[in-house]
Structure 1
Amino acid sequence: MPKRSWVKISQIRTLATERIGTRLGRASPEEIAQVVEGLNEIIGI
């Protein structure tokens, strides 16, 4: 991705795959781990 991006976790919703455009980039395993950690904090795991 051309610049660093952020996700506002409270705005994540289910989305049909047909509505998703072309892939913009990839998340590294470390970035995925950070996302999972944040989600776990929100749901209390």
Structure 2
Amino acid sequence: MATTKIAITVDEETVKQIDRLVREGKYKSRSNAIQSALKDRLGDWRRKRFALEAAKLDPREERELAEESLNAADECEEY
């Protein structure tokens, strides 16, 4: 995947924590550590948004729609 270089400003304590993770071998570089953290956070936001949307669904209505689809498929197979 193509990458794009960006500049960010990070507080000194966060940089120290990132550097410690790199020294411990958990990441190859600061860039890898930050990229991993961003991917994790974006994934969290995506899962939260999905959960909020799923919570809006009515299980009974979804079940009825699924049964209608299955019944329609069965009727098509009969012909």
TM > 0.5: no
TM-score (norm 2): 0.23
Structure in which a larger fraction of residues adopt helix: 2
Q: Give me the TM-score of the superposition, normalised by structure 1.
A: 0.38
Which of the pair has more CA radius of gyration?
Answer: 2
